[in-house]
A and B are shown apart, each in its own frame.
Chain A
Amino acid sequence: MQAVAERAPPEPLGRVSTDWKGAIDCDVHPHVPDIAALTRHMDDYWRETVGVRGITGFESIAYPPRAPLTVRPDWRGDKAAGRERADTDPKRTAAALMDRHGFAHSILNCLYAVQLIRDEHMAAAFCRAVNDWVRAEWLDRDPRYRASIILPLQNPELSVDEIERCAPDKRFIQVMGLAAGEQPLGKSHFWPVWQAAERHNLAVGIHSGSSYYHATTGSGWPSYYLEDYAAQSLAFHTQLGSFIAEGVFVKFPKLKLVLIESGVTWIAPYLWRLSKFWRGVRLEVPWIDRSPVEFVRDHVRLTIQPFDAPNSGETVGRLMDQLQSDQMLLFASDFPHWQFDGDAMLPGGIDASLRKKILIDNPLATYPRLVSPH
């Protein structure tokens, strides 16, 4: 809370800025209110199974409900006032984002913890329920919403089935998994999933978070939430390295990989190392026939919240210089996570032309289904 008090006061509520008009918000989290919301979308077997086994839901420790980061104060529920948290309600979420700012779209990335489920068939059943819940309760309620297909990456075949099931609905524009699962996502084991995504013009989104198959850091379990959250970018290092080295972008040249809620600035020093070491050991991955940084410029995008750097134009400018690309960043509010106060959704120091790219052009270039839905 201390850090918040030191910041500039939030902009006055109620002020409607037109600066955001037409923006595409690439990371919004709808919250499943309770297990009943999902069982309504399950078949008889799974509905009964959930009831008989007494499954009350899957809650990951990635976002402890009372952690400050999990929900910004003005979007929290208020029991006394009989109000649920805003991210359970498509109208209130739209009011906070698309209505208030004039965004063209909000892309829904549901973080219900399907990745925790070890039974891969149950995981697939929960993914189907989550995706159908998103479709019925969100996509059908507001034509501006778009969504990611949540995948049961516990099993690639079941993931492909879920893509095939959902892909005919063009409001799904991306498939999504978490940054820390059972094994690195570039491995050939997962290629049928990325092949299906490419075939359907779906981007591949990797969101921060873990299935907790393994410790959340490469050195073992940390003790505190603080460590866990700050270590998320390390899982992204692994996934980015895996997608590149395994040759996923060589195999699927149309694929776009979106790193969501990963932070941003870590990528420059990581790419520096990856590209430098490649020069000496490229013989083990000869299909990587040009510098890894070039694959990243062509295929990899990052959502801009949380922006993990000082709020200064100089920092942003230097990052863009190092990436040598103004196409890699995608606008995102990361609603309802508390990444910024008021309407300060972008870091300072972004000029008008770059701002337009981040808000509109880059998302359109990343998600083909936003441009030609049919």
Chain B
Amino acid sequence: MTRHVVARAAELQPGTRKLVTVEGRGIVVLNIKGELFALSNTCPHKGASLCNGLLTGLVRSTKPGEYQYERAGEILRCPWHQWEFDVRTGRSYCDPRRLRLMQFPIAVEPGASVVEGPYVAETFPVAIEDDYIVLEVP
């Protein structure tokens, strides 16, 4: 498990997202209402980049004509074929067991601890007084 510094925390405000590349892997990092999520950026269907997909809610129903709209902003839709992925689990709606996005542990850490390592932060000059977003990649 390698830990990577991928952004300054201030850079990724609620409602924004960022595509980062870690060890050759595209990872989409999302800040949803202050909560951070990191998921593989590659749709398991046809390989589309998910980072610009629509973030929407989960729509459920128990009978025809009923629309329950829940968890606004927590479902990422692939921009190509509109398949839905749950940002909390990485699982697709249509085939949750087989079609899922890899998830990566993500956290905000103070610059002081980041400087101590064992972190990889090739692209960031890390300052002790700032906070950083840190990804763990297996």
Contact = CB atoms under 8 A, between A and B. Distances in A.
Chain A contact residues: helix, strand, loop or mixed: helix
Interface residues of B, number: 16
10 contacts: A188-B64, A250-B62, A250-B64, A280-B83, A283-B59, A286-B60, A286-B66, A286-B68, A287-B62, A287-B64
A289 B94 CA distance: 9
B61 A287 contact: yes
A287 B66 contact: yes
Contacts, number: 40
Interface string B52-69: 000000011111111110
Interface in B13-68: 59-68
**Best-surrounded residue of B60, B63, B64, B65 (most CB of chain A within 10 A):** B64
Interface residues of A, number: 15
A123 B112 CA distance: 85
B66 A279 contact: no
A251 interface: yes
B67 A280 contact: no
Contacts of B93: 279, 282
Nearest to A191: B64
A281 interface: yes
B97 interface: no
A250 B81 contact: no
Contacts of A281: 82
B97 to A, nearest CB: 12
A279 B59 CA distance: 13
A184 interface: no
B81 A279 contact: yes
Given A280-B82, A280-B83, A291 B63 contact: no
A120 interface: no
Q: Which of A188, A278, A286, A291 has the most CB of B within 10 A?
A: A286
Contact of B60 (A188, A246, A247, A289): A289
A286 B61 contact: yes
